[in-house]
Amino acid sequence: MGLAVAAGRPGSYSAAPDPHHSEPMGVTPDQQREIDEQRSEAHSTRRTVAPALEDILYQALPVLDHGFVRVIDYMGDDGAVVQAARVSYGRGTRKVREDSGLINYLMRHRHSTPFEMCEIKYHVKLPIFVARQWIRHRTANVNEYSARYSILDNEFYLPAPEHLAAQSASNRQGRGDVLAPEQGARVLELLRDDALRNYAHYEELLGGEDDADPPGLARELARMNLSLNFYTQWYWKIDLHNLLHFLSLRADDHAQYEIRAYAEVMLDTLRRWVPLTADAFARYRLGGFHLSAPALDVVRALLAGQQPDRESAGLSAREWRELMTALGRDD
């Protein structure tokens, strides 16, 4: 992956934003100038546009302490989904209510190809450990900042105290109780000190900054000592169907907080881009619950006034717990 982005080498890390600095945290002056230039331009087009998404096009939407999400480009809208489903030309005389009904039907019955007619491209700045989770979604086109070509900025993620939690006793990949204040302060001290030390060593490995200085270690090797909380950037292009799948997993309450923070910002861009699809998605995917055949039998038994038990239903303890929680019967 080789996104070459001009990057500076800040002399020190600052955990707090500069009150006299108008640019969003995480956006360099060069990037802000590019954003301002992009947003100052207007183009006449015959293509379908989403006005609410146009309002924030190119803007850096802040995430975490130094991250952001930017919508760079998109193709299609709710009408493109409907058109593909009907295999028709133009919008015709259909009303919004009818389009909404069709999109709800497509979402409810898990049709995919009509949603694949729309695409969107994001520019994302995110911690490396979040990127390693994110890249598991292999249905997108990705081009990442190249630390073989450019020098990484001295920016790293530090969690807010309320997001510092112990390992969960019941979930091997989740968090438990929030750390006590003195424990959290020590954790932040360790994370900050390690990151600052690692970046100082990274600069030392790189050697001098100008041609007059002796050459240092190759950039592709010097980056090895940086910790996973340093920030990277990439362009990420995906079709609407696969974006919805990404959001269904990463905007879920069970997702890791850091990647969920990005998913929630992207949910807002989804509502601006395809509001009918976003509403159907919230109704049937984010706010819904998929029933297996045995779970459906349990619901039928409950409606019939019976009191089924887990063993007779053939459900695992986790399946039973999830079903009872979804039905509001977990007390």
Q: What pTM was computed for the model?
A: 0.84
Phi/psi at 83 (5° precision): -60, -45
Q: Which residue in the list 250, 260, 272, 285 is annotated as catalytic?
A: 250
Residue in the structure block whose two tokens are 């992009």: 38
Non-local (6+) Cβ contacts of 278 within 8 A are 267, 270, 271
Long-range pairs, 111-114, Cβ under 8 A, ≥24: 111/85, 112/241, 113/84, 113/241, 114/81, 114/82, 114/84, 114/85
At residue 274 the predicted structure's pLDDT band, cuts being 50, 70 and 90, is: very high
Share of the chain above pLDDT 70, in %: 86
The rounded distance, in Å, linking the Cα atoms of 247 and 71 is: 16
Instruction: Say if CB 158 and CB 229 are below 8 A apart.
Output: yes
Which among 31, 28, 29, 47 has a CA at the least distance from the CA of 39? Answer: 31
Q: Is the pLDDT of residue 99 over 50?
A: yes
Give the mean model confidence (pLDDT) for residues 158-165. Answer: 90
Could you tell me the domains of the chain? 1-157+229-288 (3.30.1360.170), 168-226 (no CATH), 293-326 (no CATH)
Q: Is the pLDDT of residue 105 over 70?
A: yes
Whether 250 is a known active-site residue: answer yes
Pairing of strands 61-63, 67-75: antiparallel
Q: Residue 156, SS3? A: strand
At residue 214, the pLDDT reads 54
Q: Is 100 exposed, middle or buried (0-12, 13-18, 19+ CB in 10 A)?
A: middle
Q: Is 177 exposed, middle or buried (0-12, 13-18, 19+ CB in 10 A)?
A: exposed
CA gyration radius, the chain: 24
At residue 19, the pLDDT reads 34
